[in-house]
Amino acid sequence: MKPEEDIRVLLVEDNPGDVRLIQETLRDAGDRHLTLDHADCLKAALEILGRDEHDLILLDLSLPDSHGLETVEKTEAAAPEIPIVILTGMDDVNLGLQAVRAGAQDYLIKGEITGHLLIRAIRYAIERHRMQAALRILSLIDDLTGLYNRRGFLTLAEHQLRLSRRKQSAFYLIFADLDGMKHINDTWGHKEGDQALIQAARLLKDTFRGSDIIARMGGDEFAIIAVEPAASSAEQIAKRFEDNIAAFNAHSGKPYRLSISIGVVECIPDNHCSLEDSLAKADTLMYRNKAERKKAWG
């Protein structure tokens, strides 16, 4: 999206105080290319969406006539071509995350919204949604896991690199490898190996935000771009991933334990940051992590 393009946003929120907050925040941000419309319930929102064109929906999940993930599902069903950004309170952060996993582009916590954050979230969501739509058309999706394939990842990653340079915002590039894949295939068969890859993909989706770029690069290798590094450190990302894997292993009932090695590189947007070099660095760190794991296992 070019900065000078006009953007029409539909705010779906029944709390008058929160409506005023969003209106004042956008007014203070001074983006003269953005127009805000308002609906105070889902029924009214769907009527507006059926009548007028909008570029993005700011959606509260607790409305008088709809609540929770059902609100996202109904809105997406009515307007699948329009990206959704969720508005949530501090007590509903987990619900916001679930909504993102269900298809929303992002979520914002009402008490933490600033003009800069809101404008960036709106513009990023629109760009990501457009790119995702283009990728779906080009079928750049891995058939087994439903993640992006290598070609899809490289396309989106180059786009994210250009976007980060323009916005002067860093991102994390993560390379991951499923440990012991040959042993799983040789011992329990390739069908079980496929299931291990599918579960690894699910764990990656559970670990990262819906706005992040997750891909199966081929075989047992995965790559991820986390577009908001300020939200978590590399150590926090690794810990969250390990916790999700441990929780899966504790209840999976599988005859093997799933294990995934990762390498994390922070990409600073400058002319010297190339995707190829960052992938190589993350790959090296991943293999170092894999070697440390083998040593720890004895």
Q: Domain total for the chain?
A: 2
* Same domain, residue pair 199 and 268: yes
Question: Domain holding 238: CATH number?
Answer: 3.30.70.270
pTM above 0.85, yes or no: no
* Same domain, residue pair 258 and 151: yes
Within 11-149, residue ranges assigned H as helices are 16-29, 42-51, 69-78, 93-101, 115-138
* Same domain, residue pair 85 and 196: no
Host domain of residue 92: 7-132
* Same domain, residue pair 15 and 124: yes
Q: Is residue 87 in a domain?
A: yes
Instruction: Write the CA distances from 8 to 26, 54, 85, 86, 286, integer angstroms.
Output: 12, 5, 13, 16, 43
Tell me which residue has tokens 């899809």: 152
How many residues does the structure list for the chain?
A: 298
10-residue block means of pLDDT along the chain (298 residues)?
74 95 88 89 94 94 91 90 89 82 88 89 92 78 92 88 80 93 94 95 91 93 84 81 93 92 85 80 91 75
Q: Is residue 81 in a domain?
A: yes
Residue 162: which residues within 8 A CB-CB, separation 6 or more? none
Number of other residues whose CB lies within 10 A of the CB of residue 105: 24
* Same domain, residue pair 176 and 269: yes
> Encoding tokens for residue 62?
């607790």
Q: Is residue 122 in a domain?
A: yes
Give the model's pLDDT for residue 1: 45
* Same domain, residue pair 287 and 155: yes
Give the model's pLDDT for residue 221: 96
Among 106, 132, 158, give the residue marking a domain's end: 132
> Which of 94, 95, 47, 97 has its CA nearest to residue 74?
47
Tell me which residue has tokens 């600033």: 114
Q: Is residue 184 in a domain?
A: yes
Helix or strand or coil: residue 68?
coil
| DSSP H or E stretch at residue 12 | strand 7-12
Helix or strand or coil: residue 123?
helix
Helix or strand or coil: residue 283?
helix
Question: Domain holding 59: CATH number?
Answer: 3.40.50.2300
Q: Is residue 2 in a domain?
A: no
Among 82, 99, 132, give the residue marking a domain's end: 132
**What is the number of H-type helices and E-type strands within the chain?**
10, 11
Among 105, 132, 159, give the residue marking a domain's end: 132
* Same domain, residue pair 145 and 121: no
CA torsion through residues 217, 81, 125, 59, sign: negative
* Same domain, residue pair 176 and 261: yes
Q: How far apart are CA 282 and CA 289, in angstroms?
A: 10
